[in-house]
Chains A and B, each alone.
Chain A
Amino acid sequence: MTKFAANHQLVLSATERQLSAAFEIACLHALLRFYKRQGYTLTLENLKANEFRYLTSPSGNPANFSYVTLSGQDGEFEVRQQVRVESHVASDIRFTPDILVLLKDSTIDAATNADFAAGKRKLFSVKSDRVVAAHECKSMNPFPELMVSFVGMLVTAHSWYPNGTEVAPASKGHLAPTLFVGGTARALHLKMIAAMEASYRLNIVVGMHSGTWSLKSAKNKLLWQGSKAAGNPPIAGAPQSSGNTSMQLASPAKTKRAKSTVVGK
């Protein structure tokens, strides 16, 4: 142990914040690998000096940070981190999921609010009707209350839930809103997870630390169908919601894309 500690001091001395960041980044990588397997084309956007600048807190201006765009048969989307969501349930309900899949070019409002930082800093948020899926990462052991509380995020962050026609279940497509959990679950909790996944349009992936990064256990997937209404035109010539066809585009869009609009800067 002495030799191990001496040889790997740098790795062992990671701070709590770095460890939590590491888990979140790992979940993002897993999600992006998932999208790649589903046939979406990925483009890294807004890199700074060839680095992917990760937004670590909702206080940061999303326009200054990197994100990933996805192009698939059901349209174009953005994967962002730490963007605050303003709920359709009530505009005062705002919170920040770890990872968001948004419609491409969603407007991120930058409002001044006297109740936030005494009005000195902008309150950035995106409306929940732009959210395809909000994901949460927890580097801890799963427990029933944690799992049940994720239903709150499902209800509050997705205006399509429960009966919206914007999304449809599919065998290939977006990962439905997912709770990524580091620890493994006992048999009783695994049954609870199966029941929750059957009852709600969500996934709970446990055991990430032990190597479930393929997300193969995530059964609930969905396709975005609200493209026209939401101003997100589908890719020309792509089949609509077949659920089984390949979603790889014939000519993946590689062009540099504009940043999402941030209004009120």
Chain B
Amino acid sequence: MILIGTSNGHTKRRMTPSVHRIADPVLRSLDPRVRRGVLRRIAAMERELAFLAEREDDNVNFIRTRGWSDERLQVLFVLNSVYQQVLGPIQAAAKEGPEGLGSTIPVKHGTASFSRKTAGSVQAAMKDFLVMVDTLKLQRSWLHSNTCGDVVFAVASFERAVE
């Protein structure tokens, strides 16, 4: 495990080099303030995982016997956080409103514009993101979990069901 400082110097995250290598391109693409929020969330999930492991949590112990390494969970934390903090909200706005709102009639919000074109880009990003989730053999529903405890519980429930 390594400690990596973030640009604001306040939040530190534990991420193994392999996870860091995987996550870095996406994290680098984020707006700096958004990235800080995402990193804080990932760090909180990692701290919770460490706490659960130290407490010998049944679900953590169980999923480890099913091949879930800390690295794999960390990848899930990264994807979950990017989904919750970035793709979830922006995907929501890509859903067309009634009377052509957000499609034929663009919504202008400050400097941002939400139109059919924007919606297309967001939907394409979302589609590729979900393909990535599927390729990693992760369940899409795990993206909706709020905390590490929720993620671990969801993964353990899934593993128990397929056992």
Contacts and interface: CB of A to CB of B under 8 A. Distances in A.
A5 B87 CA distance: 12
B10 interface: no
B98 A33 contact: yes
Interface stretch (B30-38, B53-61, B62-70): B30-38
A1 B93 contact: no
B107 A47 contact: no
Interface in B85-105: 85-93, 95-99, 101-102, 105
Interface residues of B, number: 53
Given A22-B114, A25-B114, A51 B85 contact: no
Nearest to A54: B109
A28 B26 CA distance: 29
A148 to B, nearest CB: 18
Contacts of B144: 184, 207, 209-210
A26 B92 contact: yes
Contact of A209 (B31, B88, B110, B147): B88
B48 interface: no
Interface stretch (A7-15, A93-101, A162-170): A7-15
B95 A29 contact: yes
Contacts of A149: none
A17 interface: yes
B31 A20 contact: no
A10 B107 CA distance: 18
Contact of A21 (B23, B112, B141): B112
Interface residues of A, number: 55
Interface stretch (B1-9, B117-125, B155-163): B117-125
A22 B90 contact: yes
A247 B83 CA distance: 38
23 contacts: A1-B26, A7-B125, A8-B121, A11-B90, A12-B30, A15-B31, A15-B34, A16-B37, A17-B110, A19-B34, A19-B86, A26-B92, A29-B101, A29-B102, A30-B95, A36-B98, A42-B99, A48-B108, A51-B106, A183-B146, A184-B144, A184-B146, A186-B146
Interface of B: 22-26, 28-31, 33-34, 37, 83-93, 95-99, 101-102, 105-110, 112-114, 121-122, 124-125, 128-129, 132, 141, 143-147, 150
Interface of A: 1-2, 4-30, 32-33, 36, 42-44, 47-48, 50-54, 56, 68, 139, 141, 182-184, 186, 207-210, 213
